[in-house]
Chain A
């Protein structure tokens, strides 16, 4: 076992982690730990753009952006946070441009902008061009640019170090309200050797991304297993609003691979088996550019009512055939290639089969606008921060707008990086890891390695597949009490089966079998919290739609959900929503 000491330890090297690292490493001794290599992070798969009211191509304002974000989030957004997000957006884009990000340009040479779902002019009047983009690979460009800047600043990376535990100085659930609870460090498994490392730190930033792999059909990478969220739960910290999961309307049918909303921003149209542009019925003003929750529900509804396309009538069609091939090549080169490679469909001449795909967790580790992690509704954990998809600030409320996540990682990654470094610099001495800090992780690794060769036990892949299938069947676009209870029962059973899993790789080095077994543990924890929150929220809001409670109920449910795991299962609490300007209204587009 090796021990390290840093002022700031950042867990995760996607957009939020690296944006934080650029700030933190200028101010304090910083280490970045990632279970991948930085350039493999899933920020690189984001396509359509990053929202900012630059007004480079038409009239726009940060205030309109705030309104769209709040309304898009079905009024569950904390409005103070949304104001920061949208007002700091402009500098966030300009900062990236100055770092070298190759945005697409207007004829005058400015950053070009395009339309995206839910982003409107003057409080919903018409779609507005707010998304700053680089073809349909904006996330790739952000990830590359941030990595390049990290090389320039000589940021210290620990690649393929899988963080498994967060060490606090006391149990946050046992601490009294107002009592200080502080971070002391993290414990990680070095994948190439199997060695366990402890990292003592004054500040820790979690930027580990999402948890899309709780579902079968997802746009998320295999590695998005909710590690940071699971670690937080295990450390006794809450997760906020986990029942709100975004299903992106246009996943490649049957595969879930993301086809950017930019396809519709550039003029693409969704059609059912009758060739009808069905979004005209669901969102008469902005049609195909309605927010994702509404479009995904509309698509699922078309399929359910028998107007799905294809031999099994189980998808709808994304029609780009009226667009010029040259325009498609310039603006949407990657996603059209995905359609060709994976479905054998030529988007110039044929509509592309699409169906909603699990895409983004609106919920996560609750934080303040400085990225400080909350251990209950009011107390922060000293020295602990979170940013990006793993966090819930909450700027996305019940439904995130497209292009607001690349914005989120830059704005709140930066804020968390500054806050974490300043806290570390002001703190005289590190609190110090306790001697047995690694004991829990050592126990997990030893126990799993001891299962090699055991007969008659469960396979990781079987339990994971069963979990993903029950989540797709029961906790997807449409939910109701019986589907959610079925899922809850299945998850409880799978958690039992998980106790009996055996792995096959006895080695220490690059034991990805062991890695997947640990990841599955996190997936089960998170699925349980998602389902419990969804069952308790007897209303429909944003990405959470209950067929047995089809309307929004502000009287009973205008609050965030705070979920804790305890020995007796998931405990749910409420947290008030911050409203500054915009009182909840009916959400029409």
Chain B
């Protein structure tokens, strides 16, 4: 027999009752709501202060209403499935702890903004991934590849380290006021994706990518609102990355 560590393991954590106020949409309609109509619904769950918002959502789904729909997978902030708007801010439900949210008040949970809502907290991610594909997010090189690895100094590797962390959760793009109102804008994530290659010393496609980002749907739409940087659950300095791309375009130098 194996000793089983009970959650929570560290110290004593207080149990509490939290109220989740969730913006719901059912594409097929319910007894009380028309197909596609959005409405708020409140749920009370028993939880621990150290529980994630995702745990609370699971308690609703598993114990109260199995029709509540949201995406999730890894549950620790690396797969990017569960970006949602929690108390008005874009975050990952699996990386947001109840104790950090003032559980005395209802916690509002909405789908991320600017992408079509499919059902409850699930949005259509296709426009987001389409923007990413636009910026040619793959290493482009010319000539014959060397037999061993391409060399890259630790300093050159460090130049694009920050933007390699992106998990494509869309928290940044769907926090951007320009993205909400301008259907053409690539959004911050695609620029982050481009930055990761533009500043990689091994890549030779930077000018092709910069040309795409110089387009009317590109970096010049950014109004440096900094929402994206605040929203990024990976701590990427998104606005800084966008500024570096803008600078490369104006100086003609990466």
B-contacting residues of A (Cβ < 8 Å)? 36-37, 39-42, 44-45, 93-94, 97-100, 102-111, 134, 137, 140-141, 144, 148-149, 151-152, 192, 216-217, 221-223, 253-255, 257, 300, 303-304, 308, 310-312, 314-315, 334, 338, 341-345, 353, 355, 459-461, 469, 472-474, 476-478, 480, 483, 503-513
Contacts and interface: CB of A to CB of B under 8 A. Distances in A.
Contacts of A255: 7, 9
Interface stretch (B61-69, B106-114, B241-249): B61-69
Contact of A107 (B10, B67, B120, B154): B154
Interface stretch (B14-22, B38-46, B161-169, B222-230): B161-169
Main secondary structure of the interface of B (DSSP, over half): loop
Q: 10 closest A-B pairs (Cβ-Cβ)?
A: A100-B139, A254-B9, A504-B66, A461-B62, A109-B151, A505-B67, A476-B2, A253-B9, A513-B66, A254-B7
A292 to B, nearest CB: 15
A460 B118 contact: no
Contacts of B148: 94, 110
A97 B141 CA distance: 12
A310 B10 contact: yes
Interface string B1-15: 111111111111000
Given A45-B74, A97-B149, A504-B67, A102 B119 contact: no
A304 B5 CA distance: 12
Given A109-B151, A510-B69, 5 more contacts: A39-B79, A40-B81, A42-B73, A254-B6, A355-B5
Contacts of B97: 341-342
A334 B77 CA distance: 10
Contact of A477 (B2, B120, B156, B164): B2
Nearest to A472: B4
B202 interface: yes
B61 A304 contact: no
Contacts of A137: 78, 165
A102 B200 contact: yes
Given A97-B149, A109-B153, A253-B9, A148 B200 contact: no
A192 B27 CA distance: 10
Contacts of A141: 164
Given A353-B9, A505-B67, A509-B119, A109 B152 contact: yes
Contacts of B81: 36-37, 40
A3 to B, nearest CB: 23
A181 B1 CA distance: 42
25 contacts: A36-B73, A37-B81, A37-B125, A39-B168, A40-B73, A100-B138, A100-B139, A100-B203, A105-B154, A110-B148, A152-B138, A221-B75, A253-B5, A255-B9, A300-B3, A312-B5, A353-B9, A473-B2, A504-B66, A507-B119, A508-B28, A510-B69, A510-B118, A510-B119, A510-B120
B95 interface: yes
Nearest to A476: B2
A504 B65 contact: yes
B122 interface: yes
A478 B4 CA distance: 11
Interface in B170-191: none
B240 interface: no
Contacts of A37: 81, 125, 129
B33 interface: no
A346 to B, nearest CB: 13
Contacts of B122: 510
Given A472-B2, A509-B27, A102 B160 contact: yes
B10 A353 contact: yes
B3 A341 contact: no
Given A104-B157, A255-B7, A221 B79 contact: yes
Contacts of B71: 40
Contacts of B27: 507, 509
A504 to B, nearest CB: 3
Contacts of B161: 102
B137 A148 contact: yes
A319 to B, nearest CB: 15
A303 B3 contact: yes
Contacts of A107: 153-154
B253 to A, nearest CB: 22
Q: Which of B6, B8, B153, B154 has the most CB of A within 10 A?
A: B154
B133 interface: yes
A99 to B, nearest CB: 6
B26 interface: yes
Contacts of B202: 100
Interface string B54-92: 000000011101110111111111111100000000000
Contacts of B129: 37
Contact of A39 (B62, B65, B80, B120): B80
B157 A42 contact: no
Nearest to B65: A504
Contacts of A353: 9-10
Interface string B120-161: 101001000100110011110000010011111110110011
B241 to A, nearest CB: 15
A509 B9 contact: no
Contacts of B7: 254-255
Contact of B79 (A42, A93, A314): A42
Given A140-B167, A510-B119, A254 B5 contact: yes
A302 to B, nearest CB: 10
B137 to A, nearest CB: 5
A345 B203 CA distance: 39
A588 B200 CA distance: 44
B2 A300 contact: yes
Contacts of B2: 300, 472-474, 476-478
A216 B150 CA distance: 43
Contacts of A192: 118
Contacts of B50: 342, 344
B5 A217 contact: yes
A506 B154 CA distance: 55
B95 A341 contact: yes
Contacts of B203: 100
B62 A460 contact: yes
B4 A217 contact: yes
A221 B62 contact: no
Given A341-B95, A478-B2, A222 B72 contact: yes
B26 A507 contact: yes
A308 B3 CA distance: 11
Nearest to A356: B2
A343 B66 contact: no
A102 B3 contact: no
Contacts of B73: 36, 40, 42, 221-223
A460 B125 CA distance: 28
Contacts of A40: 71, 73-74, 79-81
Contacts of A144: 164, 166
A253 B149 contact: no
A315 B5 contact: yes
Contacts of B61: 461, 512-513
Nearest to B151: A109
Looking at A40, A341, A473, A474, the one whose CB has the most chain B CB atoms below 10 A away is A40
